[in-house]
């Protein structure tokens, strides 16, 4: 007699007891913040037609979608993201609307990938979309709402990175990358996988000068001075307009400007602490200190990146990890 199957597939898990209660509490707090900013709840289907998650607005490569067929032969997809569904709803129900549209959503998303890096194939997403409002003030509203939401969730020490996807898209267009490669490259850059991005571009036989500029996107993090560096790297109109939009946001919104200065201050302090640690602490002490501050970092970040941060080789890091197990 066969035993009943009681474990879950890879990439999904059960949530119960105190953990589930904490999850519901955080979701309720986040939802309250979104509601206070005037965002209206909307519920969309768990699965949609494949075309809804097309590359023009989708953020997940086609190979990482859960696809299946209905009885009529239509290709359906479990949603990997909410944004395409929000765009469909806006086009269907609010086409004639002149005022800004504010949606908030909550539900599970599904990604069929084996490259998890601490993430799950089924995850809960809660977020908001501000549609038909292209102003810098709208950008400021979304950032302010994000900060309030993080604080409501109980976070005190956090950083918010603000970028513009058109900068990256302008570079990809110049380099002649197709949409599938662009999505894959974006994922590699987001996960700080420098060598993976370099290998991808070399396999696609991208011109060396374009490869160098695309890989420099890794370094475009910091205060407002980074925007000047980003601007100096490009000469195409699409990327230049993206940088100018970010500069306008920074200069015109006093809250963003103050936040940017605070970010630069924190970055300087963190760099100074890291420099001092490398000079006066052993590699074992630095690793233990990192684990004390970020207990789950090994499950979320590649060991090569951790070793680089600590200023040691990956072989040395492996030896340290073997010693403290």
Gap between the Cα atoms of 47 and 124, Å rounded:
15
Residue 20 exposure: Cα atoms within 13 Å on the Cβ side? 5
Residue 281 has pLDDT above 60, yes or no: yes
Q: Confidence band (pLDDT; 50, 70, 90) for 267? A: low
pLDDT in tens, 28-57: 999 999 999 899 999 999 999 998 886 555
Gap between the Cα atoms of 61 and 83, Å rounded:
14
Q: How confident is the model at residue 109, as a pLDDT?
A: 95
Residue 323 has pLDDT above 90, yes or no: no
Domain residue ranges in the chain: 17-152, 159-280, 281-325
Task: Give the whole-number percent of the chain exceeding pLDDT 70.
Answer: 89
Q: How confident is the model at residue 98, as a pLDDT?
A: 81
Q: Confidence band (pLDDT; 50, 70, 90) for 248? A: confident
Sequence-distant (6+) residues with CB within 8 A of 123 are: 108, 109, 111
Please give the CATH superfamily to which domain 159-280 belongs. Bira Bifunctional Protein; Domain 2 (3.30.930.10)
Residue 102: strand, helix, or coil: strand
Q: Do domains 17-152 and 159-280 have the same CATH topology?
A: yes
DSSP state of 5: P
Q: How confident is the model at residue 114, as a pLDDT?
A: 75
Q: Checking DSSP bridges between strand 66-69 and strand 75-78, what pairing results, if any?
A: antiparallel
Q: How confident is the model at residue 253, as a pLDDT?
A: 63
pTM for the model = 0.68
Residue 41 forms beta bridges with which residues? 104
Q: How confident is the model at residue 1, as a pLDDT?
A: 52
Query: If you count them, how many residues does the chain have?
Result: 325
Q: Confidence band (pLDDT; 50, 70, 90) for 85? A: very high
Map tokens 């009529």 to a residue.
Answer: 72
pLDDT, mean over the chain: 84
Question: Which long-range contacts link 240-243 to residues 24+ away (Cβ below 8 Å)?
Answer: 240/170, 241/166, 242/164, 242/165, 242/166, 242/167, 242/170, 243/164, 243/167
Residue 117 has pLDDT above 80, yes or no: no
Q: How confident is the model at residue 263, as a pLDDT?
A: 56
Higher pLDDT, 140 or 32: 32
Q: Confidence band (pLDDT; 50, 70, 90) for 254? A: low
- 314 token code pair: 């990956």
Q: Confidence band (pLDDT; 50, 70, 90) for 18? A: very high
Report, in angstroms and rounded to the nearest whole number, the Rg of the chain calculated over CA atoms: 22
Considering only the top CATH level, what class is 17-152? alpha beta
The segment with the largest mean pLDDT, out of 64-73, 107-116, 200-209, is 64-73
Residue 131: strand, helix, or coil: strand
Gap between the Cα atoms of 157 and 190, Å rounded:
21
Map tokens 């072989």 to a residue.
Answer: 315
pLDDT in tens, 95-108: 888 888 999 999 99
Q: How confident is the model at residue 70, as a pLDDT?
A: 93
Q: Confidence band (pLDDT; 50, 70, 90) for 132? A: confident
Residue 325: strand, helix, or coil: coil
Does residue 239 contact residue 210 with C-beta atoms inside 8 Å? no
In the chain, helix, strand, coil percent, each to 5?
55, 10, 35
Residue 121 has pLDDT above 60, yes or no: yes
Sequence-distant (6+) residues with CB within 8 A of 284 are: 320, 323, 324
Map tokens 């939401």 to a residue.
Answer: 149
Residue ranges of the alpha helices (H) in 43-93? 83-93
């Amino acid at each position: 007699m066969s035993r009943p199957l009681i474990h879950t597939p890879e990439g999904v898990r059960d949530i119960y007891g105190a953990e589930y209660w904490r999850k519901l509490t955080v979701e309720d707090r986040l939802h309250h913040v979104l509601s206070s900013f005037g965002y209206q709840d909307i519920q969309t289907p768990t699965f949609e037609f494949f075309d809804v998650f097309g590359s023009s607005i989708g953020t997940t490569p086609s190979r990482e979608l859960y696809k299946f067929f209905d009885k009529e032969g239509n290709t359906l997809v479990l949603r990997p993201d909410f944004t395409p569904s929000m765009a469909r709803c806006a086009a269907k129900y609010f086409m004639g609307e002149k005022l800004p549209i504010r949606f908030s959503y909550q539900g599970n998303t599904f990604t069929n990938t084996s490259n998890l890096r601490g993430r799950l194939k089924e995850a809960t997403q809660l977020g908001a979309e501000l549609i038909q409002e292209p102003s810098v003030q709208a950008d400021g509203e979304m950032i302010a709402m994000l900060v309030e939401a993080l604080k409501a969730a109980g976070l005190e020490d956090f950083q918010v990175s603000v970028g513009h996807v058109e900068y990256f898209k302008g570079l990809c267009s110049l380099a002649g990358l197709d949409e599938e490669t662009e999505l894959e490259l974006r994922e590699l850059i987001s996960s700080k996988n420098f060598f993976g991005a370099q290998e991808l571009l070399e396999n696609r036989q991208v011109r060396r000068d374009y490869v160098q500029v695309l890989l420099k996107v890794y370094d475009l993090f910091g205060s407002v001075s980074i925007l000047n560096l980003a601007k100096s790297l490009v000469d195409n109109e699409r990327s230049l307009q993206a940088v100018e939009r970010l500069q306008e946001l920074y200069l015109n919104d006093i809250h963003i400007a103050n936040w940017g200065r605070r970010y630069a201050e924190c970055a300087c302090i963190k760099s100074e602490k890291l420099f001092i640690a490398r000079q006066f602490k052993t590699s074992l002490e630095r690793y233990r200190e990192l684990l004390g501050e970020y207990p789950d970092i090994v499950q979320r970040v590649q060991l090569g990146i951790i070793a680089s941060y600590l200023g040691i080789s990956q072989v040395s890091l492996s030896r340290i990890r073997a010693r403290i197990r």
